[in-house]
Amino acid sequence: MNAIHLKKGFSPRIAGTPGRRLQKLEKPRHVGMVPKQIPFIKPRLLVKEGDAVRIGTPLFEDKRNPRIRFLSPGGGTVTRIAFGPRRVIEAVVITLDDEEFSESFDKPATDQLATASRAEWVDLLLAGGMWPFLRSLPFMDLADPDFIPPAIIVRLGDDEPFAPDPVVYLEGREDDFSSGMDLLGRLCERVILNLTGDDSLKSQLSGQMEMRCFSGPYPSGNPAVQLYRTKKGADENRAWFIDGQAVILLGQFLRTGRYPLERIVTVGGSLAPEAGHLLARAGVPLRMLAGGGPLKKTAARYIVGGLFTGFSGSEDSYLGFYQNALNLIDDGDREEPFAFIRPGADKPSYSTAFLSALRKKPFPMDCSQHGEQRACVNCGTCARICPVDILPQFTMKCLVADEVEEALAHGLLDCAECGLCTYACPSKIELCEVLRSAKAQYYKEIA
């Protein structure tokens, strides 16, 4: 077991940390899938409005590889398919029946588990809608079923505010987690468990698999950062990764032969009525997670996923396929009188120029930039905070000048898309978005 401490990064003190107490959410009246938030996918609908579906019925497939399908998170009727600009599928909404029926999938018998071939396991995961949980680095796209990766990284613990705590979602599900790990071992010879956070899990999991324990500031739980700090050659760059809770879902699928619905979700942020862990289901409406909405009168921003890498939603949208958190924070879209002479005692910041650097208590986070975008001044703040040692400011300037090869030489593909460079930039430049978009465009050109 290797212990790795990361020095570069930053963990802001943010109010609204979820507690470990787990509460069960009641069954919603409808659930939804949000295809537009799945990176790189080109969805092709397999249902239409008015169709009856079961739990596990295919809703849409990826045009790039029709074998990869996304299944229904509920049994009922497809009541709405929402389209955005250029016919982008924004949501597939299903009104649930009182009694839901589920599709069943043929899984190998117990005495056949050891002899089943890799191709059989791949076909089972594809048919059961479990394959999309596996993603490929460095672009974070869906894993290619026909490619055998150099390693599969299992991320157990995400230190981004505010992801589910592995201590909570592992409790009582250890057998399913072990089954899921065994299944991953059928797909790749090397499966690595990267543990971030609570040390109490070390003794529980040690000895079962190759394990690395990461500590340090955010984003020590990011799989791209973990790979960057541990890889020994360029051949490891195409490793796959999967979240720890998704491994549990693999084990549940293998045990029951049905598409698993349960998700442990965190609700946090300074405007959350009650921050904590919720036992919900896939595709749950954000309104339910928020308990009907923030209790405070301040306008809230619904951030689905982590505060740095999640996407902005609304109370009428749904939990994303890869997201297991909802953060409710101040929208911050308002004027701040005399901001230029205030000492900033209540402003969370990477800089130590504000009085907030002396404050030890968590800060209520908001979405305000606290200033307008300005030209890059080459201060080097983004380079000092970057956990993968690239030079974000020079990489960004290369991209603006259309010098893609030079940007690649600076380490564009190593970018972990953690969002810290944007958070820390005193010129308010959306560095992470520039680098993420460039990576995506480059990937589309070489794919």
The DSSP-derived string for 193-250 is EEEES-THHHHHHTTSSEEEEEESSTTTT-HHHHHHHH--SGGGTT-EEEEHHHHHHH
Q: Which domain holds residue 442?
A: 369-446
Rounded mean pLDDT of 210-233? 94
Q: Is residue 26 included in any domain, yes or no?
A: no
Count how many domains the chain has: 1
Please, are residues 262 and 248 in contact by the beta-carbon 8 Å criterion?
no
Q: What's the pLDDT score for residue 49?
A: 96
- For residue 284, give both structure tokens: 């749950």
Rounded CA-CA distance 102/56 in Å is: 6
Q: Is residue 48 included in any domain, yes or no?
A: no
Q: What's the pLDDT score for residue 116?
A: 86
Q: Is the pLDDT of residue 296 over 70?
A: no
Tell me if residue 272 falls in helix, strand or coil: coil
Axis crossing angle, helix 244-256 with helix 174-187, rounded to the nearest 10: 90
Rounded mean pLDDT of 234-238? 92
Q: Which residues partner with 55 through β-bridges?
A: 102
Q: Is residue 399 included in any domain, yes or no?
A: yes
Residue 272 — pLDDT band, cuts 50, 70, 90?
Answer: confident
Q: Could you read off the pLDDT of 403-434 as tens digits, one per residue?
A: 999 999 999 999 999 999 999 999 999 999 99
Q: Could you read off the pLDDT of 356-401 as tens digits, one per residue?
A: 888 888 988 888 887 788 899 999 999 999 999 999 999 999 999 9
**CA distance readout (Å), 300 to 289, 351, 423:** 14, 25, 19
Rounded CA-CA distance 390/411 in Å is: 5
Q: Is residue 385 included in any domain, yes or no?
A: yes
Q: Could you read off the pLDDT of 143-162 as tens digits, one per residue?
A: 999 999 999 999 999 999 99
Q: Is the pLDDT of residue 295 over 60?
A: no
Length of the chain in residues, anyone?
447
Q: Is the pLDDT of residue 206 over 80?
A: no
Rounded mean pLDDT of 23-44? 95
Residue 203 — pLDDT band, cuts 50, 70, 90?
Answer: confident
Tell me if residue 353 falls in helix, strand or coil: coil
pLDDT over 70, % of the chain: 97
Please, are residues 274 and 267 in contact by the beta-carbon 8 Å criterion?
yes
Q: Is residue 380 included in any domain, yes or no?
A: yes
Q: Per-residue DSSP letters for 412-444?
A: GGG----SHHHHH-TT---HHHHHHHHHHHHHH
Angle at 57 between CA 56 and CA 60, to 5 degrees: 115
Rounded mean pLDDT of 290-304? 74
298 or 318: which carries more pLDDT confidence? 318
Residue 106 — pLDDT band, cuts 50, 70, 90?
Answer: confident
Q: Is residue 251 included in any domain, yes or no?
A: no
Q: Is the pLDDT of residue 297 over 80?
A: no
Q: What's the pLDDT score for residue 115?
A: 81
Q: What's the pLDDT score for residue 298?
A: 64
Q: What's the pLDDT score for residue 1?
A: 62
User: Which of these, 110, 114, 69, lies nearest to 92 by C-alpha position?
Assistant: 69
Q: Is residue 104 included in any domain, yes or no?
A: no
User: Which of these, 343, 339, 309, lies nearest to 415 by C-alpha position?
Assistant: 309
Q: Is residue 338 included in any domain, yes or no?
A: no
Q: Could you read off the pLDDT of 433-447 as tens digits, one per residue?
A: 999 999 999 999 997
Axis crossing angle, helix 392-400 with helix 431-446, rounded to the nearest 10: 60
